[in-house]
Chain A
Amino acid sequence: MADRVNTAERLEAAAAAAEQYYVASSWTLMRRKFVKHRLAVIAWFVLAILYLAAAFAGFAAPYDRIASRTDFSMAPPTRVRILHEGRLQAPFIYGLTRQRNPETLLMEYQTDPEQRHRIRLFVSGDKYKVLGLVTANKHLFGVEEPGVMFLFGTDQLGRDILSRIIHGARISLSIGLLGVAMSFVLGCMLGGLSGFIGGPVDMAIQRAIEFLQSLPTIPLWMSLAAAIPIDWSPLRRYFLITLILSIIGWTGLARIVRGKILQLREEDYVTAAGVSGATRRNVIVRHMLPNFLGYLIVHLTLEVPGMILGETALSFLGIGLQPPVVSWGVALQQASNIRSVALHPWLLIPALFVVLTVLCFNFVGDGMRDAADPYK
Chain B
Amino acid sequence: MTQYIVRRVLYMVLSLGVLSMVAFMIIQLPPGDYVTTFVHMMQQRGIAVDEAMMRALYERYAFDRPVHEQYLKWIGNIVLRGDMGESMAFNDSVADLIAERLTLSVVLSLGTLIITYIIAVPIGIYSATHPYSVGDYAGTVFGFIGLATPNFLLALILMFVTLRLFGWSPGGLFSPEFLAAPWSLARVWDLMKHLPVPLIVIGTAGTAGLIRILRSSLSDELSRQYVITARAKGVAERRILFKYPVRIAINPIISAIGYLLPGIVSGEALVSIVLSLPTIGPMLLDGLRQQDMYLASSVILMLGMLTMVGTLISDMLLVVVDPRIRFEQKN
Minimal beta-carbon separation of A155 from chain B (angstroms): 15
B43 at interface, CB cutoff 8 A: no
B157 and A348 within 8 A (CB): yes
> What residues on A are CB-neighbors of B19 within 8 Å?
211, 215
* Binary per-residue interface labels of chain B (280-307) against chain A in the complex, 1 for a CB within 8 Å, 0 otherwise: 0100110011010100110110011011
B156 at interface, CB cutoff 8 A: yes
A217 and B259 within 8 A (CB): no
* Binary per-residue interface labels of chain B (305-318) against chain A in the complex, 1 for a CB within 8 Å, 0 otherwise: 01110010000000
* Binary per-residue interface labels of chain A (218-256) against chain B in the complex, 1 for a CB within 8 Å, 0 otherwise: 111011101101000000000000000000000000000
Contact residues, B121-168 vs A (CB, 8 A): 144-145, 147-150, 152-153, 156-157, 159-160, 163-164
A342 at interface, CB cutoff 8 A: yes
Minimal beta-carbon separation of A335 from chain B (angstroms): 6
B156 and A342 within 8 A (CB): no
A359 and B150 within 8 A (CB): no
A219 and B171 within 8 A (CB): no
A60 at interface, CB cutoff 8 A: no
Minimal beta-carbon separation of A230 from chain B (angstroms): 9
Question: How far is it, in angstroms, between the C-alpha of A217 and the C-alpha of B270 when the chains are bound?
Answer: 11
Contact residues, A289-319 vs B (CB, 8 A): 305, 309, 312-313, 316-319
B278 at interface, CB cutoff 8 A: no
How many residues in B have their beta carbons less than 8 Å from beta carbons of A?
A: 52
B265 and A216 within 8 A (CB): yes
Among the listed stretches A88-96, A118-126, A350-358, which one makes contact with chain B, having 4 or more residues with CB under 8 Å of it? A350-358
A219 and B284 within 8 A (CB): yes
For B15, the closest partner residue in chain A by CB is A211
Question: How far is it, in angstroms, between the C-alpha of A217 and the C-alpha of B303 when the chains are bound?
Answer: 10
A305 and B304 within 8 A (CB): no
- Report which of A210, A319, A351, A354 forms a contact with B288, defined as CB distance below 8 A: A319
Minimal beta-carbon separation of A168 from chain B (angstroms): 15
Question: How far is it, in angstroms, between the C-alpha of A224 and the C-alpha of B281 when the chains are bound?
Answer: 15
B37 at interface, CB cutoff 8 A: no
B150 and A338 within 8 A (CB): no
Q: Which of B153, B265, B281, B289 has the most CB of A within 10 A?
A: B153
**Are A355 and B149 also in contact (CB < 8 A) when A226-B289, A338-B163 are?**
yes
B252 at interface, CB cutoff 8 A: no
**Are A222 and B288 also in contact (CB < 8 A) when A213-B259, A359-B145 are?**
yes
* Binary per-residue interface labels of chain A (321-336) against chain B in the complex, 1 for a CB within 8 Å, 0 otherwise: 0000000000010011
B258 at interface, CB cutoff 8 A: yes
- Report which of A211, A214, A223, A229 forms a contact with B31, defined as CB distance below 8 A: A229
B144 and A362 within 8 A (CB): yes
A217 and B266 within 8 A (CB): yes
**Are A218 and B270 also in contact (CB < 8 A) when A227-B30, A342-B163, A351-B156 are?**
yes
> What residues on A are CB-neighbors of B164 within 8 Å?
342, 345
Question: How far is it, in angstroms, between the C-alpha of A316 and the C-alpha of B171 when the chains are bound?
Answer: 18
A214 and B296 within 8 A (CB): no
B148 and A359 within 8 A (CB): yes
> What residues on B are CB-neighbors of A312 within 8 Å?
150
A341 and B304 within 8 A (CB): no
Question: How far is it, in angstroms, between the C-alpha of A210 and the C-alpha of B14 when the chains are bound?
Answer: 12
- Report which of B30, B169, B171, B303 forms a contact with A216, defined as CB distance below 8 A: B303
Question: How far is it, in angstroms, between the C-alpha of A215 and the C-alpha of B157 when the chains are bound?
Answer: 28
Total contacts A-B at CB 8 Å = 126
Question: How far is it, in angstroms, between the C-alpha of A338 and the C-alpha of B273 when the chains are bound?
Answer: 12
* Binary per-residue interface labels of chain A (261-278) against chain B in the complex, 1 for a CB within 8 Å, 0 otherwise: 000000000000000000
Question: How far is it, in angstroms, between the C-alpha of A224 and the C-alpha of B291 when the chains are bound?
Answer: 10
A214 and B311 within 8 A (CB): yes
A338 and B159 within 8 A (CB): yes
B262 and A215 within 8 A (CB): yes
A214 and B148 within 8 A (CB): no
> What residues on B are CB-neighbors of A214 within 8 Å?
15, 258, 262, 304, 307-308, 311
> What residues on B are CB-neighbors of A362 within 8 Å?
144, 147-148
- Report which of B156, B285, B306 forms a contact with A338, defined as CB distance below 8 A: B156
For A335, the closest partner residue in chain B by CB is B156
Minimal beta-carbon separation of A354 from chain B (angstroms): 7
B203 at interface, CB cutoff 8 A: no
For A218, the closest partner residue in chain B by CB is B266
A359 and B289 within 8 A (CB): no
> What residues on B are CB-neighbors of A351 within 8 Å?
153, 156-157
Question: How far is it, in angstroms, between the C-alpha of A67 and the C-alpha of B147 when the chains are bound?
Answer: 35
Contact residues, A197-217 vs B (CB, 8 A): 207, 210-211, 213-217
> What residues on B are CB-neighbors of A342 within 8 Å?
160, 163-164
A223 and B288 within 8 A (CB): yes
- Report which of A210, A226, A336, A354 forms a contact with B291, defined as CB distance below 8 A: A226
**Are A226 and B145 also in contact (CB < 8 A) when A214-B262, A355-B153 are?**
no
B299 and A219 within 8 A (CB): yes
Question: What are 28 A-B pairs with beta-carbon distances under 8 A?
Answer: A210-B15, A213-B262, A216-B304, A216-B306, A217-B263, A219-B269, A219-B299, A219-B303, A220-B22, A222-B284, A222-B296, A223-B288, A223-B296, A223-B297, A223-B299, A229-B30, A229-B31, A313-B270, A319-B285, A338-B156, A338-B159, A341-B159, A345-B160, A348-B156, A355-B145, A355-B148, A358-B148, A363-B144
**What is the interface of chain B, defined by CB distance below 8 A to chain A?**
15, 18-19, 22, 26, 29-31, 144-145, 147-150, 152-153, 156-157, 159-160, 163-164, 169, 171, 258-259, 262-263, 265-267, 269-270, 273-274, 281, 284-285, 288-289, 291, 293, 296-297, 299-300, 303-304, 306-308, 311
A-B residue pairs, 6 tightest by C-beta: A226-B288, A227-B29, A218-B266, A216-B265, A358-B148, A359-B148
